[in-house]
Amino acid sequence: MMLDFFLKGGPIMWPLLILSVISVSVVAERIIFIVREIRSRDAAVIEVILDKMEQGDIPAAIHAGKLSNDFVARVLIYGLAHREHSFSNALLMAANRELKRFGKGLSTLDTIITLAPLLGLLGTVTGMIHSFGLLGASGIDSPTTITGGISEALIATAFGLVVASVSLIPFNYLNKRQEDARHEIEEAATHLEILLMKQSPKTP
């Protein structure tokens, strides 16, 4: 039954099916990633790093964060480890690396959200062209030819809209998680930079 309904949408349904499979795969992988990152968060180690920095013990701060899987801690430690060259650039590089991990797959979902309705509309248009072609061949004696054809053609648009709508919800959620990660990194990095600037006159 479902297969017959799917096939009524015409050949354009196969690209839409591929897009839906890609969307589900990307969302599943990203959800697993987010869950792992949430479990790896360690607010305590961030506090330890900042406390050690306040005490002026940079080696202890680096040591405290080296064993952590917290993405914010990784950014801070990378910045501290490369502070002699360019602390700000090191922080920026590490932050971009972490945010890139959070942004993986977002461009794919964005493309699917845009492309799926367009493919569905294309399927509907080509289906209607086919239906009117049949009507021209059979005349007005068979009105069911065009009405049935249009009904089947609209399936493609409906399926395209479903694929886009289902992809949009996780896309917005993942965008929000990326922005949250950016905010957390910027807050901790700014705090660390202030502490390092306070110690700079004491550093030979």
Secondary structure letter of residue 142 according to DSSP:
-
In a domain, 204, yes or no: no
Burial label, 65 (beta-carbon count in 10 A; 0-12, 13-18, 19+): buried
Domain of residue 145: give its range.
2-198
Distance CA 180, CA 37 (A): 12
Question: What's the pLDDT score for residue 174?
Answer: 96
Q: Quick check: 151 pLDDT over 70?
A: no
**With pLDDT > 90 as the criterion, what percentage of the chain qualifies?**
55
Question: What's the pLDDT score for residue 76?
Answer: 94
27, 167 contact by CB (below 8 A): yes
pLDDT (tens digit per residue) in 49-68: 999 998 888 899 899 888 88
Global pTM reads 0.81
In a domain, 33, yes or no: yes
In a domain, 171, yes or no: yes
Number of domains in the chain: 1
